[in-house]
Amino acid sequence: MIARTARHQDYRKNLHRSDLLWLAALLHRLSGLGLAAFLPLHFLTLGLAVDGEARLESFLRWSDAPAVKIGEAVLMFLLAVHALGGVRLLAVENLAWHEGQKRNAVLAAVAAAAMAIVFLVWIF
């Protein structure tokens, strides 16, 4: 028995995107993008000290706000997860093949999150 047909569309089936290593790769890429976007702002901020401490100081006081502190913890997470995920990749590419890639990816993300949470507590 032939039932109805669906509407006309382009064949662009999204592969089942809940694979853990795909999510790890996406996190790695997005964290890198986030860090790349942050860096120019970080350099410009430090460069505020060119004319003495006043402008840097007023920025730093703005960054005392709790929302900014949470943002800093997020940045620490991005840095840690990108670095640890990158170390995992360097291991895959340079050491003999070893199983447990999914476990390593999860460990990297958990360690990064833990570090970010410790940082958040540390600065509050």
Interface with other proteins by CB under 8 A: which residues?
A: 1-11, 13-16, 19, 21-22, 25, 29, 32-33, 35-36, 39-40, 42-47, 49-50, 53-54, 56-57, 60, 76, 79-80, 83, 86-87, 89-90, 92-94, 97, 101, 115, 119, 122-123
CA dist 85 and 41 (Å) reads 24
Would you tell me the crossing angle of helices 53-62 and 20-47 to the nearest 10 degrees?
Answer: 140
In the complex, the smallest distance separating the C-beta of residue 73 from other proteins, rounded to whole angstroms, is 11
Cβ 101 to other proteins, closest distance in Å? Answer: 6
- Residue 93 CA to residue 122 CA, distance in Å, equals 35
Tokens of 108: 């990297």
Quick one: which of 84, 63, 86 has its CA closest to 73?
63
Nearer to other proteins, 56 or 74 (CB): 56
* Nearest approach, Cβ of residue 75 and other proteins (Å): 10
Closest approach, Cβ 17 to other proteins, in A, equals 8
26/15 Cα distance (integer angstroms): 14
